[in-house]
Amino acid sequence: MTSKKKEIDIPKIYNAKEHEDRIYQEWENGGFFNPEKNIAQGSTSIDAPSFTIMMPPPNVTGVLHLGHALENSLMDVMTRFQRMRGKRTLLVPGTDHAAVPTQARVEKDLMAQGMKNPRKELGREKLLEIIRDYVEKSKATILSQIRKLGTSCDWSRLAYTFDESRSKTVNTIFKKMYDDGLIYRGYRTVNWSVAGQCTHSEDELVNIEREAKLYTFKYSEDFPIPIATTRPETKLGDTAVAVHPDDERYKKYIGQSFTVNFCESKFFEIKIIGDSEVDPNFGTGALGVTPAHSQIDFDLKERHDLLLIQVIGKDGNMTEEAGEDYQGLSVETAREKVVQFLRENNLLINEEDTKQIVGTSERFGDVIEVIPMEQWFVNMKKEIPGRKKNLQQLMREAVAIGHNGDEKQKIILSPNGFEKRYFRWIDNIRDWCISRQIWWGHQIPVWYCENKCQPIVSPEKPKECSHCKNTTFQRDPDTLDTWFSSATWTFSTLGWPDKKADLNVYHPTSWIQMGYEIFFLWMARMILMSTYILDEIPFRNVYFHGLLRDKNGQKFSKSLRNNLDPLEMIEKYGTDALRMSMLMGVSPGNDMKFYEEKVEHYQHFVNKLWNISRYILISVKEIKLIAQIPEGNSKDDKVILLLLQKIINEVTESIENYEFSRAGEILYDFTWHDFADWYIEVAKIEKEKDDILLYVLQTLLKLWHPYMPFVTEKIWEFFDAPQKLIVQKWITTKELSLKDNLDIARVKIRKEIVKNIRSARRDFNIPVSIILGLRVRDFGEIFLIEEDMKIISKFARVEETLFVLGENEMHITLSPVAGKLLYLTMPTNIDFTKEKERINKEIKNLEDYTLGLANKLGNESFVKNAKPEIVEETQKKKEDVDRKLALLKKQLKQIN
Ligand SMILES: [Zn+2]
């Protein structure tokens, strides 16, 4: 395909804003994000292997943040790369109804408008309607923002965790699990957030350390075993004391019961039990058992058939069961009162300051209370009918150990080593509490008949109870944990349970990326659902990205005011620059620094690519597509083409191994240093290289496309190609021969020599008008042949390259290349005396300066009292000056 060269007018500055929205619209309208349309358009084939990614659905009420920018950059690089390799590539977008935060957000707004208790005042239906309206309004925001990032997802398959398809999926699975005996309702302890008025799973808690007091006491004067606690008020709910059965101090008391009291009105029984789980060396070696307010103690209650007394209520205050002296008190007041009682009755043995770890609500921030409640659970350890395994086993078997390629049907986690954490978590897994006491979400599909018969599982209201024929029902008011629905994400988005076509082609999905904070919340539960429902893993590869941190290594947060808005970055620097700054430096599992200058730097690079292209497009005789690798004439032609092949192999391999940063660095280096700084300069001298220039450029556009989709597509438009760049075929090459690699090495050495000579000219202020001599020691013929010398002399303005250094030749020593010594000789009329003086003077100045800085940093009161940024800045300044000093001293040594 050729187009006659017409005058083209390409501005010197690439203006991202002029092109990005239009290009995205054209991709979307052209159907390029949809794998079926790509088959129809012939850019891939019906029998091509599939490549699928499910987008972790962002919260429907959220706005785009840096984390989304990172995740979308990662997903879209993979998606575009695989699409260009001809796979049937599908990236499914979606949003999450984010039950707890969404309802909390709306309730907070309503309360700000003066409502005291929205749930009470509005009732279920009305409140849900308000939330639904709110969600509909905000939904469009996040979706349009994802488009801004250039993410090539198939919008025709857009899913929502709370739409009709998901409702059907969730209800179907709930029924299947219930019928399989895996879902049960139980009165058990749960993690309760008083502030949020709802339960939390273990994984929704954030552990924090806080100051506390440890009280050691006896329940009564005649009680033989002392107990230690940080929460004396919960002791009103104690029903036993557990000791190790072999503990010589206490074993004689096992089986005895004592009646004790913590006030006039509250008498209760404490039974002494033996349990081998108790650590006799911890604390007093005895454990006050509070079954209602501790998960461990609840388990003890189950084993020893103890009583359960709930003394803290859902409102966070003491209950009636705590006794009339305590009822209604806050836990803090009750604590003081119990301690007071112990003190007055000489029961308090010791009181000391301590630190304790407590679980807090990730969402609401309050300290979690453990309380007993009627809840729905998924049983992890019960055998699944017909499978001879339980859910815990299914989840364990799904993950490969390390990066073992033999385990083809298993999931591989990156970085290597994460699977150990996973297995540890699986080994300690508890039953999953799936009910939540909020209204926004999938309501539990369970109905209770008036006569309290067996509950009926059904998404619709049952006609009549099969036991008592009653027709009046109450639906369970609770909703399902959000993760119950997002756990079905890999297959419910592909049509399960109704349609099979997409599932057959696109499941298991190929790759998924996520932050490690949802490792258990989401990844593990997707594994549970997929292996249970489909007997198939949900994805083959999981990539965990780290966190983005600011320049000082701190997390981005509103309170630190260090937040950067990705949309603002796009507005200022363009999407390609933002994507580049997300991908360069990224590696699985590791946190990465992100700052505005980084985006700015990559904007320069986007513009560099634009200018390279501009130069080529303007200077070639004819703008055309080059389909075959052109024949090169000179050594440089051959080497640039070989080098290109080499980097194609390296880039392809790196992306395949999720080394996105490495692939980008290889490409960056080639584009800037090999192609622009070197080959294009050679081409200016040697001329007649249109085909090679065009070929290398077109190949580079393809290689860069997954990273910088917009600018590459825009440049591609100048070629009037029949198909857009987004669906161009990725280039494959053969491995290079030994000779090829030697040729590349030679040119690299030559380049290095030129670079060193140029920088020596800069350092010593030697103008290009002065021609220098080069002395190279011990290079054999292999590396530098006459052709190389010619190029070196042209580029670095040297002549007379010799392999020995004359005894009296005045010279500068260059940095060695490939381990060999190089000298630059000067004509005798250059006088370095002045230069030496200048350098010596500068050294003196800098030495004084660095001494001042060192004194400052050595001053304790400065380091202690100055702001940390100032100290850091001083430190940095000193490092800079020291570096400069070292360089000057080296220069001085180089002159001979
Ligand atoms: Zn009934």
* Model pLDDT for residues 431-481, shown as the tens digit of each residue: 898 998 888 899 999 999 988 898 999 989 999 998 999 999 999 999 999
438 CA distance to ligand 1 middle (Å)? 26
257 CA distance to ligand 1 middle (Å)? 42
- Least confidently predicted of 602-616, 720-734, 880-894: 880-894
Q: Which residue has the tokens 């003077």?
A: 841
* Under 8 Å between Cβ of 641 and 692: yes
- Least confidently predicted of 283-292, 602-611, 672-681, 736-745: 736-745
455 CA distance to ligand 1 middle (Å)? 8
470 CA distance to ligand 1 middle (Å)? 5
List of residues 6+ apart from 59 with CB closer than 8 A? 95, 96, 98, 101, 102, 142
Q: Which helix or strand (DSSP H or E) is residue 655 part of?
A: helix 635-656
Could you tell me the pLDDT band of residue 664, with boundaries at 50, 70 and 90? very high
Measure the CA–CA gap between 324 and 602, rounded to whole angstroms: 69
Residue 272 pLDDT > 50: yes
124 CA distance to ligand 1 middle (Å)? 25
CA 360 to chain centre: 23
314 CA distance to ligand 1 middle (Å)? 30
Could you tell me the pLDDT band of residue 862, with boundaries at 50, 70 and 90? confident
* Under 8 Å between Cβ of 657 and 649: no
Question: DSSP E strands: which ranges in 389-532?
Answer: 412-414, 432-433, 435-436, 446-449, 456-457, 473-475, 479-480, 509-515
479 CA distance to ligand 1 middle (Å)? 23
433 CA distance to ligand 1 middle (Å)? 26
Q: Which two tokens stand for residue 8?
A: 């083209």
451 CA distance to ligand 1 middle (Å)? 5
Residue 211 pLDDT > 50: yes
* Under 8 Å between Cβ of 823 and 814: yes
Q: How many residues does the chain have?
A: 896
Measure the CA–CA gap between 42 and 30, rounded to whole angstroms: 13
476 CA distance to ligand 1 middle (Å)? 15
Measure the CA–CA gap between 746 and 646, rounded to whole angstroms: 15
Selected residue with higher pLDDT from 830 and 369? 369
Measure the CA–CA gap between 659 and 81, rounded to whole angstroms: 13
462 CA distance to ligand 1 middle (Å)? 11
Answer left, alpha or beta for residue 38, where phi above 0 means left and psi between -120 and 50 means alpha. Answer: alpha
- Per DSSP, the three-state class of 182 is coil
Measure the CA–CA gap between 179 and 475, rounded to whole angstroms: 18
Beta bridge partner(s), residue 2: 624
Q: Which residue has the tokens 């000298």?
A: 823
Instruction: Give the pLDDT score at 406.
Output: 64
Q: Which residue has the tokens 């070197």?
A: 678
475 CA distance to ligand 1 middle (Å)? 13
- Per DSSP, the three-state class of 241 is strand
190 CA distance to ligand 1 middle (Å)? 29
* Under 8 Å between Cβ of 532 and 178: no
- Hey, how many other C-beta atoms are within 10 angstroms of the C-beta on 47? 7
Query: Helix H segments across 445-595?
Result: 482-486, 489-492, 501-506, 525-533, 566-573, 575-583
Query: Exposure pattern of 708-736 as b/e (b: 16+ CB <10 Å)?
Result: bbbbbbbbbeebeeeebbbbbebbeeeeb
171 CA distance to ligand 1 middle (Å)? 22
Measure the CA–CA gap between 693 and 310, rounded to whole angstroms: 79
Residue 781 pLDDT > 60: no
Measure the CA–CA gap between 335 and 513, rounded to whole angstroms: 46
469 CA distance to ligand 1 middle (Å)? 6
Q: What angle do CA 339, 282, 286 make, to 5 degrees?
A: 60
Instruction: Give the pLDDT score at 1.
Output: 46
Instruction: Give the pLDDT score at 130.
Output: 93
Q: Is the peptide bond before 508 cis (omega within 30 degrees of 0)?
A: yes
Cα atoms found within 13 Å of the Cα of residue 467, Cβ hemisphere only: 10
Q: Is the peptide bond before 462 cis (omega within 30 degrees of 0)?
A: no
Share in percent of the chain as helix, strand, coil (round to 5): 45, 20, 35
Instruction: Give the pLDDT score at 556.
Output: 87
Give me the residues near ligand 1 (ion), CB cutoff below 5 Å: 449, 451, 453, 465, 467-468, 470
* Under 8 Å between Cβ of 252 and 220: no
Measure the CA–CA gap between 50 and 78, rounded to whole angstroms: 13
276 CA distance to ligand 1 middle (Å)? 44
Strands ordered across the beta sheet of 227-229: 227-229, 205-217, 348-361
Q: Is the peptide bond before 709 cis (omega within 30 degrees of 0)?
A: no
Instruction: Give the pLDDT score at 4.
Output: 52
Mean pLDDT for all residues in the chain: 89
The secondary structure of residue 367, as a DSSP letter, is B
166-180, 236-250, 454-468: which has the highest mean pLDDT? 166-180
Measure the CA–CA gap between 751 and 158, rounded to whole angstroms: 51
177 CA distance to ligand 1 middle (Å)? 22
291 CA distance to ligand 1 middle (Å)? 32
Query: Exposure pattern of 244-255 as b/e (b: 16+ CB <10 Å)?
Result: beebeebeebbe
121 CA distance to ligand 1 middle (Å)? 31
185 CA distance to ligand 1 middle (Å)? 17
74 CA distance to ligand 1 middle (Å)? 54
384 CA distance to ligand 1 middle (Å)? 28
CA 169 to chain centre: 28
527 CA distance to ligand 1 middle (Å)? 37
Q: Which helix or strand (DSSP H or E) is residue 863 part of?
A: helix 860-865
In the chain, the amino acid numbered 308 is L
Residue 218's φ and ψ, nearest 5 degrees, are: -120, 145
Residue 139 pLDDT > 70: yes
- Hey, how many other C-beta atoms are within 10 angstroms of the C-beta on 830? 12
432 CA distance to ligand 1 middle (Å)? 28
Instruction: Give the pLDDT score at 829.
Output: 67
481 CA distance to ligand 1 middle (Å)? 28
The 3-state secondary structure of 580-600, one letter per residue: HHHHCCCCCCCCEECCHHHHH
Write the pLDDT tens digit of every residue in 2-35. Answer: 455 667 789 999 999 999 999 999 999 999 999 9
468 CA distance to ligand 1 middle (Å)? 4
457 CA distance to ligand 1 middle (Å)? 13
471 CA distance to ligand 1 middle (Å)? 8
456 CA distance to ligand 1 middle (Å)? 9
Helix count and strand count (H, E) for the chain: 27, 31
Q: Which residue has the tokens 């700052």?
A: 595
184 CA distance to ligand 1 middle (Å)? 19
467 CA distance to ligand 1 middle (Å)? 5
